[in-house]
Structure 1
Amino acid sequence: MALTPPDASNTPAGSFERLLTIMNDLRANCPWDMKQTMESLRHLTIEETYELSDAILGNDMEEIRKELGDIMLHLVFYAKIGSETNDFDITDVLNGICDKLIHRHPHIYGDTAVNDEQDVKRNWEQIKLKEKGNKSVLGGVPASLPALVKASRIQEKARGIGFDWENKDQVWEKVEEEIQEFKDEFNVPEGQEIDAERAEGEFGDLLFSLINYARFVNINPENALEKTNRKFIKRFQYLETKAKENNRQLHDMTLAEMDVYWNEAKKL
């Protein structure tokens, strides 16, 4: 027998209650939803997060709205599973984040004075360190983060307790130093083998220093690299299209011939 779907609401509380009701209905009656566990949902949640990221980078507000809804569904789903095992429910989740925000904003809900956002970040990290009982400021950086994102988070957390360069010129000097050290690993005498492990290490140092400089000039390195990826894909696909229109195969074309189409793509 079909269930009567809950009516739409014009208030945040009513809309959220509607989603909770639907989640309860699906968990009790839908074979797929009934079968899901936190582990089975995990990879889907990661995928939804990346889809939201794509929508944000594309500045597609309609897609952002949709992807936020998908992620909201996943959050409610996890809370529903938690309630079934009597570990936590959605009320616990919401009260938990509210309590955390209140505790970590003593300049709003207390008498702590701050001068700027850096003071706020510094207080946040210090409070977080006490809450979690971590022995290291870096203990809160997830080990499974992609390396580029992890480098950014490591640097941000170190900055939060005052371990940082004083100005961007100092950081750029470090970048140039790392460029030279990386280059030196390949400037070996004729016939001498390049130490691949040392070269890889120097390349890692160079990337880390570039990410650090990006932070100083307010560039998100993850966003910057992804935009470059997209730009390259768009230009390369233009190259493929033009080659096809002229009955050419890329592997039969010279680099100079391909550059003609590449430069056209850049102008577009």
Structure 2
Amino acid sequence: MSHEELSARDVFARITAFQQAAVRRQAERVVDFGEGFTALCPSFPYSYDHNLVVLTGDDAPDDVVELVESVLDRTGVEHRLVLAHSAPLGDAVAAALTGAGYGHTVHVVMRLTASAGPIGDPGEVRELSLDELRPGERAMWQERLPDAPDEVLDQLADRRVLRRACAEEVVFLGVRDEDGAVVAQADLYLDRGFGCAQIEDVRTSPAHRGRGLARAVLAECVRRAAEAGCPVTFLVADAEDWPRRFYERIGFETVGHTHLFLRFPG
């Protein structure tokens, strides 16, 4: 079945199933409860993305704040990250969680349409190793968190190793400059079982923007997704940030929304 034959609702359901499986696959410990599950990685306590509560379904828990506290009690997790994999559920729990001090971010889930044209020239794009990606990853986190200790920065840079478990095949793609430094990159998660190809963490260094490098990396991701026979190629973007419009221009359309709620430690 081609992605043209799948409705937006079917596509979003397939993506949600894949994303929840990816969270579970990366976890060192998963605990299910009636309204969802917790995924924990004690080896990476500073990685919020790997120590979280995932709410499933469309119905809100009676007391979501208390629920989150109860399922994370005695786990050692100091932050609170809650992911709601549906717009109705996210809307239903938003008031309670924001009232309890959580920040709220809405993400759009976007699939590549069958009518999308050529995105870019993937000629410069190559597969990258974790060792090649690590310097840029650590530098990015140091810029974002200038006061963070080395332990935190090292862990955030090293947590990428967990992403290898996300899907059947995981590839890190990018472009290097003349000195060999990685200047544009993206992750690609290919899972034929779910029929999904997720493009994640698309990034270009500021000094190299405007040269079509992001398009080149995306084009290679799309080429590989088609080669793998995945009927759904998708990515996730912040609903309020500019990349969403860029993705729309090159042929991605919104099929659903997810909600993230984050409360920092302390």
- Fold agreement, TM-score > 0.5: no
Quick check: which one's helix share is greater? 1
TM-score range, shorter chain: under 0.3
**Structure (1 or 2) with the larger CA radius of gyration:** 1
Normalized against structure 1, the TM-score is what?
Answer: 0.26
**Which structure has greater strand proportion?**
2
Which fold has the larger relative contact order, with Cα–Cα distance below 8 Å and residues 6 or more apart in sequence? Answer: 2
